[in-house]
Structure 1
Amino acid sequence: MTVFVDTSAFLAYLDRSDENHETAVATWTQLLHNRELLVCTNYILIESSALIQNRLGMAAIRDFQELFIPLLRIEWIDESVHQTGVAAWLAANRRRLSLVDVTSFETMRRLFINTAFAFDQHFVEQGFSCLK
């Protein structure tokens, strides 16, 4: 199975005070045990890095860079996905829906990925299954 990994999963794993921390650790461990293909976008990496640095500091960034990123297949957002995402984002007109979210959904659709490791309900709203 191929699983898309969202920023919310990385944050929950790395932040021991996050309400989803234990679930995130258990899910990540199971994904690795099952040798699932783990995919995310470069936009997710940027968003995750900024939030991890701001909330948890540079030690957590090092863990993210050294322990997580090498296990991921990174899909690079190209102009087509970006423009499709911007159009969807503006059409949605929702303050809590981000450009990173909509480019993630578009990437998942283009790659035929139906499952996300995410604690963000926007994935469910878009018709994807969430591991948690």
Structure 2
Amino acid sequence: MSIFIDTGVFIAYVNKRDEHHTPAARLVEDIMKNKYGAAFTSDMVFDESMTFILYKTGDIGKAISVRDLILGNEEKDVPRFMALIFVDGDILEKSWNTFVKYAGKRLSFTDCSTIELMKTKDIEHLASFDGGFDGIVARHWQ
């Protein structure tokens, strides 16, 4: 079993005013306890998370917390519990095709790269609050 963590989970995890903060905290804790098996995210989700966290909260400290969550931080005793997958040229091309195919769902390009990474790496579940993924990948949000 395996799970991919989407941007919205990271945003809600560090933003107590986010409507999904409580389920995000519970979900991250469950993922850290290996409830869903191997955990993954991508360089594109990392990028999107940093951008949106700073934009939504104005707090670089929250972005740093998510960076530490994703990459781990030995100095702060934050264990690394997920793998960071990098989007290559092949995934980029497949993501473009998915972006065009699902244009009506209004998925971001990052979302489309997530779908393609999940297919390529056989990642079974997606931790996300974004209903746009429904019908495409198996989504867990609580």
Q: Calculate the TM-score normalised by the size of structure 1.
A: 0.90
CA contact (8 A) 2:7 2:49 kept: yes
Distance 1:66 1:109 in 2: 27
Give 3-state SS (helix, strand or coil) of 1:94's partner.
helix
Of all paired residues, the percent bearing the same amino acid is: 20
Matched AA of 2:97: A
The aligned counterpart of 1:68 is: 70
Give 3-state SS (helix, strand or coil) of 1:125's partner.
coil
Instruction: Spell out the pairing of 1:1-132 with structure 2 (5 A cutoff).
Output: 1-34=1-34, 36-56=37-57, 57-70=59-72, 71=80, 72-94=82-104, 96-132=106-142
Deviates more, 1:39-48 or 1:52-61: 52-61
Q: Which runs of 4+ in 1 moved over 6 A?
A: none
Deviates more, 1:69-78 or 1:9-18: 69-78
Distance 2:112 2:34 in 1: 28
Give 3-state SS (helix, strand or coil) of 1:66's partner.
helix
1:70-118 CA distances to partner (integer Å, 9 max, x unpaired)? 2320111000110111122123333721110111001001111121111
| Aligned length, in residue pairs | 132
CA shift for structure 1 position 123: 2.3
CA shift for structure 1 position 69: 2.6
* Gaps in structure 1 of 5+ consecutive residues: none
CA contact (8 A) 1:123 1:130 kept: no
Matched AA of 1:44: V
Q: 1:15 to 1:126 in 2, by over 3 A?
A: same
Distance 2:33 2:105 in 1: 37
* Gaps in structure 2 of 5+ consecutive residues: 73-79
Give 3-state SS (helix, strand or coil) of 1:39's partner.
strand
CA shift for structure 1 position 3: 0.8
CA shift for structure 1 position 5: 0.2
Matched AA of 2:118: M
Deviates more, 1:43-52 or 1:67-76: 67-76
